[in-house]
Amino acid sequence: MLISTNEPIGPRPSRRRKPVLLVSGVQEKAMLSASMSLQLGLPDAVTVRHTIDSERQVLTRVVSDVTGLIEREEVDLEHACVTCAIRADVLPTLERLAAHGSWGSIVACLPIAAEATQVCRVLAWNPRTAPHVAVTAVVAALNGAGVAEDLLGDDLLDERGLATSEDDRRGVAEVASAMVEYADVVCLTEEPDHEERDLVLALARPQIAVVTDPTLLDAAHLASGLHRDAAAEAWVAEVRRGPLPPLRSGGAWRLDLCSDRPVHPLRFQDELKILGGGPRRSRGCFWLPTRPDAVCAWDGAGGQASVGSTRSWGREEPLTRITVIGIDDDLQERAEIRAAFERCLLTDEELAQRGSRWEESWDGLEPWLGPIETVA
């Protein structure tokens, strides 16, 4: 089954650059099903699959096409993490295969839990890294049965044996939700139930396709140039301005918590459990009177939340905006989330007395945001 509509096609790859279809996910079966379907739809394609053994610190690369196995190699990694794998072998392999000229396109099955954003951003920042490569589509491949558990559950990657390094403490939901949000098409192994389908549609970029049978992937369409960096980055950005598009179905709900006020650093910590708890996906940005120039990012899923400072506001107007998505029916909890957000914001009295720039050397958020660098 195909859910939703097609997004406008992006720039087609040039003759010099080979189309690359990236497949990401958190389950091997779903990723392999999507990769095989794409390869069958592109008879002139070569497929490369990378896997990481974090205990052995080994990256395994398997390359094949319609003629069979072409190469299988193990690469020792100094630090067996996704970033190292992409830098050390994934991108160099894509460039090597693209430059070889023997295949019309490449299907790249990334290491489990590796996000395609890492590949796309490296190519966007430094196209010379792989001048023969053009990412034409990003596919997020997930199991259809119980997909809400992957997107909203509280499992950690290491609890499922999927951690990419010894210190990989990411949650499955954090990774899987981010994959769906960045993808150009979401491929599920089977039809999910109504609420889970609506959850996927709520997370995904507006108008992208959600396929509930890997055999329905239109490989030729994806190879033609569907991916657009600007559209994908705008949707996953921590700072989003303007109204959000309406939800495409009614089985999921969304809170758009938005204010031009900063949050009180201590009250914010008091409300973390309510804002980031439960089987929900939340993300966005906030600003602090103790760090008025810093864009602080919020990233939460499955009852876990992380915050970090990403960049400076520069000439942008600071904004506090967190969106929360869920599929549960507890209206009271939604009201509590909204109330907790309101409690975090500076009050009229606080703004009148101290303004939005506080001269403080400590705010309690140092473990996540680092020390306060300047005192306003």
How do residues 300-352 score in pLDDT, each as one tens digit? 999 999 999 989 999 999 999 999 999 998 899 999 999 999 999 999 999 99
For residue 103, is pLDDT > 80?
yes
Whether residues 46 and 140 share a domain: the answer is yes
Number of structural domains found in the chain: 2
Which CATH number goes with the domain that contains 119? 3.40.50.300
Task: Provide the β-strand partners of residue 286.
Answer: 296
In the predicted model, what is the mean pLDDT of residues 141-155? 96
Q: What is the pLDDT of residue 87?
A: 79
For residue 145, is pLDDT > 70?
yes
Is 323 inside any structural domain? Answer: yes
For residue 12, is pLDDT > 70?
no
How do residues 243-289 score in pLDDT, each as one tens digit? 999 998 788 999 999 999 999 999 999 999 999 999 999 999 999 99
pLDDT level of residue 85 (50, 70, 90 thresholds): confident
Rounded to whole angstroms, how far apart are CA atoms 138 and 73? 25
Q: What is the pLDDT of residue 374?
A: 59
How do residues 200-212 score in pLDDT, each as one tens digit? 999 999 989 999 9
Taking each continuous run of H as one helix and of E as one strand, the counts in the chain are: 14, 14
- The parent domain of residue 287 ranges over 253-369
Which CATH number goes with the domain that contains 280? 3.30.1220.10
Is 218 inside any structural domain? Answer: yes
Residue 94 structure tokens? 């894509």
pTM above 0.75, yes or no: yes
How do residues 156-183 score in pLDDT, each as one tens digit? 999 998 887 777 889 999 999 999 999 9
Is 244 inside any structural domain? Answer: no
pLDDT level of residue 6 (50, 70, 90 thresholds): very low
- 188: Cα separation from own chain's centroid: 16
Whether residues 212 and 122 share a domain: the answer is yes
**Contact by Cβ (8 Å): 16, 132:** yes
Whether residues 183 and 279 share a domain: the answer is no
Is 331 inside any structural domain? Answer: yes
Is 245 inside any structural domain? Answer: no
Q: What is the pLDDT of residue 9?
A: 41
Q: Which of 9-13, 104-108, 208-212, 278-282 has the lowest mean pLDDT?
A: 9-13
Rounded to whole angstroms, how far apart are CA atoms 176 and 171? 9
For residue 75, is pLDDT > 90?
no
The CA-CA-CA angle for residues 253, 176, 235, to 5°, reads 60
Whole-number mean pLDDT of the chain? 91
Q: What is the pLDDT of residue 270?
A: 96
Is 241 inside any structural domain? Answer: no
